[in-house]
Amino acid sequence: MPVFEYTALNSSGKKLKGIIDADSSGAARQKIRASGNYPVDIKETVISSKKEQGNTLSTVSLFNKVGPQDIHVAARQLSTLLGAGIPLVQSLSSLIDQTANPSLKMIFAQIKDAVNEGNSLSNALSDHPRIFSKIFINMVKAGEASGSLDIVLERLAEFGESQETIKARLKAAMVYPILMAIVGTCVVILLVTFIVPNIAKVFEDTKQALPLPTTLLINCSDFLKNYWWIVFLMIIAFIFLIKYFLTKPKGRHLWDKLKLTLPLLGPLNTRIAAARFGRTLASLLSSGVPLITSLHIVKNILNNVLLVDVLDNASEELEKGRSFSHILKQSPWFSPMLVQMIAVGEQSGTLENMLEKVADNYEREVEFKIMAMTSLIEPLMILAMGLVVSFIIISVLLPILDMNQLIR
């Protein structure tokens, strides 16, 4: 069914904009008039093919991007509508009316059109892979198969909101250290490139031998002032070199191994991966997705080739009838506590609950460790900036003290 963008006037003369699906522009005008509004302009929106939607979403405007929070709210609304016994197509129509984001409104109109044509909701969602993740689509598919789509959508909303909350806490914890680093670096650059050269002119007029720290500071200042563009180009080249290195299998393997083995950062990254692994796998299993299928989905969100290799091996061994906990026990990247909880869950038939508990525990640990690290980073940064500024001050004062001794 075609989708139309329209501009209309309500009974009080206020201009309205929206999206409506109808068989023709005439039918769309009748729908708008039936709602008590007067249509001013109607134009059909071209819906791209499925292949084109997989690569790019022409309906998503640059200024109306669909964020994770939009998806979570929509999932919760659709869950409420379905839970109230409203049919899927009618629920999607209500969801379109309730959605404020124009881009998401257009996407739901396309989804409703696909469902009207006889497609399942999961198949309709899979036409928009940049908006709906594999986890979302597979959990919806499991909900359709089990007849508990409303429960699955509610669980998806809760899962997505919890993940966004964790990300927000991580970002908030890093704001202050990053801000301090930026301000401190700017202050040092200002001192070295503008203040020091003016002071150096005074020392040059005296024509006295300068101490080594002062000479080093002046040379560094001259280099940054005259060749700052070289430093800038070197930084850009280094960044591109690192990115190119990470595109290679060996480079990505080495980088992912460093993320799991570096002091301080290694244990933190391991706990973050374990929390994400436990939470996502528990959500998939509780929604009725088989374990092997769930592992294939989970590995896409871990963002680490070493962990992906472990889960690929686990999928193969599970098909041979081996225990999941025994397979993970052989890997150094999964903690003994995680393996023990999975073993208990397998024996008691409560694997989803055990994974939820593991995820809760690791999320608390991650939050605590990040707070501890940021509280440690702050004094270290202050100390580092203090040492740099102290060096600049000492380099300036040493020649002045030498001049005082000569005068005496």
Within a domain: 167: yes
Considering the domain architecture, whether residues 173 and 39 belong to the same structural domain is answered as no
Structure tokens at 374: 């940021």
Q: Which amino acid makes up residue 288?
A: G
Structure tokens at 234: 């070197």
| pLDDT tens-digit series, residues 96-106 | 888 878 888 88
280-317 per-residue burial string, b: 16 or more CB within 10 A, e: under 16: bbbbbbbbbbeeeebbbbbbeebebbbbeebbeebbeb
| pLDDT tens-digit series, residues 350-397 | 898 999 899 889 888 888 888 788 778 778 888 888 888 888 888 888
Question: What is the SS3 assignment for 58?
Answer: coil
Within a domain: 118: no
Within a domain: 133: no
Residue with tokens 């409703």: 112
Which of 53-62, 255-264, 331-340 comes out lowest in average pLDDT?
53-62
Q: CA 5, CA 75: separation in Å to the nearest integer?
A: 24
| pLDDT tens-digit series, residues 66-99 | 888 888 888 889 989 888 888 888 888 888 888 8
| pLDDT tens-digit series, residues 192-234 | 878 777 777 777 666 667 788 888 888 888 888 888 889 889 9
SS3 content of the chain, % helix, strand, coil (to 5): 75, 5, 20
Q: Which amino acid makes up residue 396?
A: V
CB under 8 A, 24+ apart: contacts of 239-243: none
Domain end marker among 27, 48, 69: 48
By residue range, what is the domain housing residue 11?
Answer: 1-48
Within a domain: 397: yes
Q: How far apart are the first and last CA of the chain?
A: 96
Residue with tokens 């001050």: 393
Within a domain: 100: no
Q: Which residues, in sequence order, are CB contacts of 378 under 8 Å at separation 6+?
A: 176, 177, 180
Within a domain: 66: no
User: How many CB atoms are located within 10 Å of the residue 196 CB?
Assistant: 21
Within a domain: 137: no
Residue with tokens 């030498």: 402
Q: Report whether pLDDT(61) > 50.
A: no
Structure tokens at 52: 């084109």
Within a domain: 96: no
* Structural domain count of the chain: 2
Q: What is the CATH number of the domain that holds 202?
A: 1.20.81.30
Closest CA relative to residue 290, chosen from 156, 398, 146, 92:
146
Question: C-alpha distances in angstroms, 360 versus 159, 192, 254, 277?
Answer: 12, 48, 30, 11
| pLDDT tens-digit series, residues 226-236 | 888 898 899 99
pTM tops 0.75? no
Considering the domain architecture, whether residues 169 and 23 belong to the same structural domain is answered as no
